[in-house]
Structure 1
Amino acid sequence: MKFSSWSAAVTASLLSLSSGALAAAIEKSKGPTATQNFELTKEMLEISVFGGQTIHAPQVVNSGFVTTTGRGPRALAKAYAKFGVEISPELLLILEEILEALGITVPGTTGTGSTSGTGGTNANQTTSASQGMVAAVPQLFDTEYLAQVSIGTPPQTLMLDFDTGSSDLWVFSTETPKTQENGQTLYNIAASSTAKQLEGATWSITYGDGSSSSGDVYLDTVSIGGVTVTNQAVESARKVSSSFTNDTASSGLLGLAMNSINQVQPTPQKTFFSNALDNLAMPLFTANLKKEEAGNYNFGFIDTTEFEGSISFINANTTQGFWQFESAGFAVGNSSTTTITSVPHQAIADTGTTLLMLPTAIVEAYYAQVQSAQLSQEFGGYVFNCNEDLPNLTLAIGSYNAVVPGGLINFAPADDISPTGSSTICFGGLQASSGLPFAIYGDVFLKSQFVVFHGGNAQLGFAPKPTTS
């Protein structure tokens, strides 16, 4: 049996179950309830059959995103914009000050605030390999994770933001106006022999700050880490908001939520994951995001070296198009025996949102245990002294308790509007979800967990990371 050019140790950990093994283990009709999860142990994942090549996409360093200024308020505004929540005048003023410090000019700015710094997003097949792996690359303070995606024939490599909170694959292209480009790698439509326009199809995404991106649609070959889909809908940007123009490191976005929220009209298109699903060795992908270093997404297999203990599965509610689930409550502190306080809430697992955004009751209870914490109008959210030793936050997801280390909640310097200044105040990675339709378990949470997105059973799986990571 031949494997790709990995070390034998890593290859041995990439698992593909025999036909029906995982499905039998977590059969939907016998699956977890809202309060009791199904536990999948490593012993259930013994190798039966390797379903094809195992491919590891090399990590890529993004040197174009090095600015620390205003990371916290920008991440907060990004979440609001993504889900259509009005951005407060106070936060708009903060953003305008940040943009001014960054030297970013916003057309039409009148001095009442700008939202161009929000980074608001979101926004047939053959499989050359049944397994694939793609490295996620963090930008400073993990605000955005990018990964290599190949589009067209011959392949053109673009760096895209993988987003489990949206369902569009859209890119900067040769159709994007020159005035709206800023060094992004472009999808050259004419250079791809397999590109064909989807006649009559258009897309348009409007963000919470009133800006929008839009364009037309092509069908082309798309590959991620060796998994290839033909006739994948690729949305070509004929217009992009200035927030995307200013993000020079990213050439677009690849959505991994449900097909139902795809924005192509008149007929919504399938996501890359949905198109590839039937040909994957296992109908799932996993996210292993990390703090201040590259993580990875695996498609079609589970790597047992990336988690400890068992994977705890809970049913996902996909009716609204997201990887939505119910969380039961929380605990604050570093004790493993801390009692869970009941605060039931609906949440989504969203790699496209940087922060962890929870009900106000949880956020207030957490920061009540942080002596220097305060809700700051000046900075747009909760801040605290950078040298504060933050407690852990435990979130109860069914019968599984997910622990978010306090170190992850120290997100970024806050008092850094001047790029040459020093910081003593830090912005919290945990903020309130007030105004949002659900809590958002974004990257601050996801970096603490190994997460399985099971498309076959519409389930989410969570497991602790190895203590050495």
Structure 2
Amino acid sequence: MASLRNTLVMALAAGASANTLRMDIARNPAVAAAQIEERSSYLRSRALSRRASDTVTAALENDLTAGLYSANITVGTPGQTLAVQIDTGSSDVWVPAPGLSICSEPASQGGGCAGGTFDHSSSSTFSVVEQDGFNISYVDGTGVAGDYFSDMFAIGGATVKGLEMGLASSGTIGQGIMGIGYNTSEANIDTGNGTVYPNLPNQLVDEGLINSLAYSLWLNDLDSSTGSILFGGIDTDKYSGNLISVDVYPTTRSKQVVSFTVAFTSLSATSSSGTDVLTPSDYAEAAILDSGTTITLLPDALAEMVFEELGALYEESLGAAVVPCSLANKNGTLNFGFGGSGGPVISVGVDELVLPLTLTSGSTPKINGQDACQLGIMPAGDLPILFGDTFMRSAYVVYDLVNNRIGLANTDFNATGSNVVPFASSGAAIPSASTAPNEAAITQTATGNPKVDVTPTAGGVTSATYNPTATGLSAASGFTAASSSSSKKNGGVARPEPFAWSRVLVGLITVALMGAGGLFHLL
């Protein structure tokens, strides 16, 4: 195009008008085509630039040993790199301080801070927001405490200036957590010690890094080492079939939306021999979608039906449902429906539900002479119904915190392409998503009582999860930072403690479970 520009300059110098020049160029097809291509290239580059600024993408690492997904972040100036667990069930970002006692404990005993610590004295932009104001505990009895502070925070190439976070100086968790739930569930609100502050998703919007308070999770399959989180948009290459959105429901007590609670409305099991429908046609239960929970908790009766379908046995000594590891080689799916008839149905392959089970000796327990694994589904007991990572790996999940909607589609495992579509503006609907058509039919029973509202349990839990996910039970519930009590803070649940399959401590016991009649009789 340089020669074209020179020609124009010479023509102008000769006194030709701009209109004459445009007519001359139009008569030359080669020149016209070149101009059109140059303009198109410019518009494409502008569109790509605009799209890049409207979304933030970060890789997630699947730590199969620890049973969590983590993202790399930097905090402070200069930036200090840490790996933090991503958690849609809590709302505070917090990082461990170097003096956190668990960091000095042996990793073999559950200690260590492998994700790194944050040394505030090395950051020139560190500022204390509230000394001793941060205190958060989780249903599994773990928790941390320390200060609220603000500092530079970077993820996925985007930097948030002055993000408010917690700095854990004491407690029983050795890896930081990136809570990205509703800011109405921040720990300082639940303790009554503060007011709502802009957490990470809010700050991304406030600083113009994304258009709307929304993000998408693609965890990928159980064997994959990486997934991704996309703030401010969706990636149409990461799911298959239709993306359908459903309502997120408020609590009955506060009438506020504080957790990602949706209407779970059907479950079936499918194999080459057919399909078993496990729920009645009018079934509807409140359920929480939570990336910070390792496994999936179903209503007791429904969990028992799943155990029967898959030939699982509940072993009290392990606090887990166990299956032969060979189940992972079987074909078949559990199909979870949401939002009533016509709503999204997510098919979870049984291979995605078989988790490793290792004794402290390093050996694998046995069931009927076969290697035993844990089934990634448990009875909920008095806890809420929770769809954790054993479900969410099979779902592409879009969280729209402005419109209180969740978009769901079956994930496209190990997808190599990417087609990012940003939310057009704040409050815009989920791109490419349709709406579940029959949600109104499942909001109330014949008696007029809501079927999918969350009723707080004893102790005030409204979004109780574990391993770990915030419950709002911090200082007010008796957690003290110096305590290492293992008592459960779950509203007095009498069932066995939820099983952390990555930390099973059963000595040299071999699980010799007999009577597994009907083992994998369907799938």
Deviation at 1:172, TM superposition (A): 0.8
Tell me, yes or no, if structure 1 residue 327 matches structure 2 residue 264: yes
Q: Displacement, 1:130?
A: 3.0
Q: 1:281 to 1:359 in 2, by over 3 A?
A: same
2:335 to 378, 391, 394: 394
Checking the alignment, whether the CA contact within 8 Å between 1:217 and 1:235 is kept in structure 2 is yes
What's 2:184 paired with?
260
Tell me if structure 1 keeps the 8 A contact 2:96–2:168: yes
Q: Quickly say closer, same or farther: Cα 1:234–1:454, change in 2 above 3 A.
A: same
Identify the residue that residue 63 of structure 2 maps to in structure 1.
139
CA, structure 1 residues 53+188, in 2 after alignment: closer, same or farther (shift >3 Å)?
farther
Partner of 1:301: 233
Q: Displacement, 1:189?
A: 1.0
Task: Choose the corresponding residue for 1:433, options 364, 376, 380.
Answer: 380
1:284–1:301 Cα contact (<8 Å) kept: yes
Q: Please say if 1:341 is aligned against 2:263.
A: no
Residue 275 of structure 1 aligns with which residue? Answer: 203
Q: Aligned in 2, Cα 1:316/1:277: closer, same or farther, shift over 3 Å?
A: farther
Is the Cα contact below 8 Å between 2:269 and 2:275 reproduced in 1? Answer: no
CA contact (8 A) 1:316 1:325 kept: yes
Unaligned runs of 5+ in 2: 1-44, 106-110, 251-255, 416-523
Q: Which residue of 1 aligns with 2:410?
A: 464
Task: Return the alpha-carbon distance in structure 2 between the equivalents of residues 51 and 322 of structure 1.
Answer: 34
Correspondences of 1:312-323 after superposition (within 5 Å): 312-318=244-250, 319=256, 321-323=258-260
Spell out, residue by residue over 1:194-228, the C-alpha distance to the aligned partner (whole angstroms, 9 max, x if none).
21111456111234454531001111111211232
Q: 2:313 aligns with which of 355, 374, 392?
A: 374
Query: What is the Cα-based RMSD across aligned positions, in Å?
Result: 2.6
SS for the counterpart of 1:275 is helix
Work out whether residues 201 and 267 of structure 1, in 8 Å CA contact, stay in contact via their aligned partners in 2: no
CA distance 1:284–1:207, shift in 2 (3 Å): closer
Shift in alpha-carbon separation, 1:186–1:257, aligned structure 2, 3 A: same
- 1:65-464 mapped onto 2 (5 Å cutoff): 129-140=53-64, 143-174=67-98, 176-177=100-101, 179=104, 182-184=112-114, 185-200=116-131, 202-208=133-139, 210-241=141-172, 244-245=173-174, 250=175, 252-264=176-188, 265-278=193-206, 279=208, 280-290=210-220, 291-293=222-224, 294-318=226-250, 319=256, 321-334=258-271, 339=277, 341-342=279-280, 343-371=283-311, 373-388=312-327, 389=330, 391-398=332-339, 399-413=343-357, 416-421=359-364, 424-436=371-383, 438-464=384-410
Alpha-carbon shift at residue 133 of structure 1 (Å) = 0.9
Paired with 1:191 and 1:168, the residues of 2 have a C-alpha distance of 22
Q: Aligned residues: percent identity?
A: 24
Q: Deviations over 1:72-101 (max 9, x none)?
A: xxxxxxxxxxxxxxxxxxxxxxxxxxxxxx
Note closer, same or farther for the CA distance 1:463–1:222 as it changes in structure 2 (3 Å cut): same
Give the letter aligned to residue 231 of structure 1: G
Q: Structure 1: which 5+ runs fail to align? A: 1-46, 55-128
Alignment of 1:54-73 (within 5 A): 54=52
Q: SS at 2:165's partner residue?
A: strand
Could you tell me how far 1:50 is from its partner in structure 2?
A: 4.2
Q: 1:375 to 1:310 in 2, by over 3 A?
A: same
TM-score normalised to structure 2 length: 0.60
Cα distance in 1 for partners of 2:284, 2:65 equals 30
1:165 deviates by: 0.6
Q: Distance in 1 between matches of 2:212 and 2:276?
A: 36
**C-alpha separation between the residues in 2 aligned to 1:48 and 1:327?**
42
**Does the residue aligned with 2:230 lie in a helix, a strand or coil?**
strand
Matched residues in 1 for 2:51 and 2:309: separation? 49
Moved over 4 A (4+): 47-51, 177-181, 335-340
**1:268 and 1:203 mapped to 2: Cα distance?**
13
Question: In 2, Cα distance between the equivalents of 1:324 and 1:468?
Answer: 28
Question: C-alpha distance in 2, partners of 1:134/1:285?
Answer: 11
Checking the alignment, whether the CA contact within 8 Å between 1:131 and 1:226 is kept in structure 2 is no
Aligned length: 340
What is the one-letter code of the residue matched to 2:143? S
CA–CA distance in structure 2, aligned partners of residues 304 and 418 of structure 1: 45
Q: Distance in 2 between matches of 1:468 and 1:228?
A: 28
Question: Does the 8 Å contact 1:194/1:221 carry over to 2?
Answer: yes
